[in-house]
Amino acid sequence: MRASYASLVLIAFTLACGGDGGGAPTGNVPVVASIALSDPPASMTVGQSAQLTATALDAQGSPVTNPGQFTWMSGSPQVASVDATGKVLALAVGTTSITARVAGVQASKSVVVASASAPKDTISTLPQSFLPNLITISVGSTVVFAFGGGIQHNVIFDPSATGAPDNILITKDVNVPRTFAARGTFKFDCTVHPGMRGEIDVQ
C-alpha cells in the first residue's frame, strides 16, 4: 500500500514539473494576426485551375510556424470550386471570392471566370477593369462588350472622338455589340467604377 502511494506521489510530481517533455508554454505560441493570400490569375477561363497559397502571419508580419489546418471556401462554388489545398477550379462564367481561414482569422481574394470560347473582338467587364483594355480592329468590325459577374457597368466613349458608336448605359449580365465604322482611336470609361478605362484602335 505504501509503495502504491509513493508511486502516485512521484507521478503527480513529475506532471507538475513538466517532466513529460511537453513543448514550450502556450503563452509563447505566436498568435495569428493576419493571412497573406496569393493572388489568383487576373481572369480564369472555364476548366482552368490555379493554386492559391496562404501564409499565417503574427502581429509583426512574420510567418507563424504550424498555425493549424487552413480551411478553404468558395463564395460561389458553381462559379469556381476550391479544395482543401487551395487549388481553384473555374467552372462557370462569373465572379466569386475564395477564402482561407485559420485560427479564427481569414482572408479572401476575388476570382473572375471568363468564357474559354469568347470571340477575339470581345471585351469583358471585370469588377474593376476591362479585359482586354486595349484591342486593335479593322474598320467596320464589331466589338462585343460582355457584361458578366452580376456587376453593373457602363461604357462611355470619349465624345471628342469622331465616329464613336453609341454609349452603353448601365447594365449587367448581357452582351452588347458596337460596330466601329470609322478609323481612329476610341477611348472609353466605365463611370460606375472610376479608373476603369479601355481603348479601341480602329485601322
Could you tell me the CATH number of the domain that includes residue 47? Answer: 2.60.40.1080
The pLDDT tens digits for 44-90 are 888 889 999 999 999 999 999 999 999 999 999 998 999 999 999 99
Task: Using DSSP, state whether 193 is helix, strand or coil.
Answer: coil
Give the CATH number, domain containing residue 156.
2.60.40.420
Grid cell of 89 as nine digits: 477550379
Q: Give Cα 121 distance to the centre of its chain.
A: 25
Digit-coded pLDDT (tens) for 157-188: 999 999 999 999 999 988 899 999 999 999 99
Last residue of a domain, one of 93, 114, 135: 114
Query: How many angstroms separate the Cα of 202 from the Cα of each of 62, 97, 161?
Result: 51, 36, 12
The more confident residue out of 20 and 126 is 126
Q: Are residues 150 and 100 in the same domain?
A: no
Q: Round to whole Å and give the CA distance between 55 and 98.
A: 15
pTM value is 0.51
Would residue 39 count as lying in a domain? Answer: yes
196 and 142 in a common domain: yes
Which pLDDT does position 21 carry in this prediction?
Answer: 41
Instruction: With cut-offs at 50, 70 and 90, classify the pLDDT of residue 4.
Output: low
pLDDT reported for residue 29: 61
| pLDDT greater at residue 102 or residue 148 | 102
Position with higher pLDDT, 42 vs 89: 89
Q: Which of 12-16, 97-101, 125-129 reaches the highest mean pLDDT?
A: 97-101
Q: Which has more confidence, 6 or 123?
A: 123
Q: How many other C-beta atoms lie within 10 A of the C-beta of residue 10?
A: 11
Residues 78 and 142 in one domain: no
Q: Give exposure, 115-131, as e/b (b: 16+ Cβ within 10 Å).
A: eeebeebbbbbbeebbb
pLDDT of 135: 93
Q: Are residues 75 and 149 in the same domain?
A: no
Say how many residues make up the chain. 203
CA atoms within 13 A on the CB side of 188: 30
Domain count for the chain: 2
Same domain? 101 vs 148? no
| Position 104 in a domain | yes
60: containing domain: 30-114
Chain centroid to CA 70? 17
